[in-house]
Amino acid sequence: MGDRYYLILNCAYCNEENDNIYYAPTSMFYDFKCKKCNKINFISITSGIEAKKAEDVKLQDVIDAFSSTTSSNLSKEEIKRECEYYMKQLKKDMKKEKEYEREKNNKTKN
């Protein structure tokens, strides 16, 4: 168990203010879904805490977030493996999001 925070951040897509965002960096909770546009945002900590579009997230962003908030005994290889797993999950979530949007748009057209 590590640090846990509740943040207020503006969505990187629609700029809507989102409050009560659960952020637990040591548990790899690095993202949130905007309450207005429903898009996934990555919580970036490179220059302060801000939201970043999920599709712009690179593996190094995740490694930086993990490394700067976690003091662990993991090797660089283990950290990279954990962060690659997170990226795989993030991409899977983005794919689901796009499929949902496509279905929603198809229903609207019919």
**Of 35 and 68, which is predicted with more confidence?**
35
The pTM of this model reads 0.81
Per-residue confidence (pLDDT) for residue 19, from 0 to 100: 95
Domain region containing 34: 5-109
Per-residue confidence (pLDDT) for residue 3, from 0 to 100: 74
Burial of 55 (0-12, 13-18, 19+ CB in 10 A): middle
DSSP notation for 22-76: EEBGGGTB-EEE-TTT--EEEEE-BTBSEEEEGGG--HHHHHHHHHHH------H
Report, as an integer, the average pLDDT of 55-77. 83
CA distance 22 to 85: 20
**Which tens digit of pLDDT belongs to each residue from 18-28?**
999 998 877 77
Q: What domain count does the chain have?
A: 1
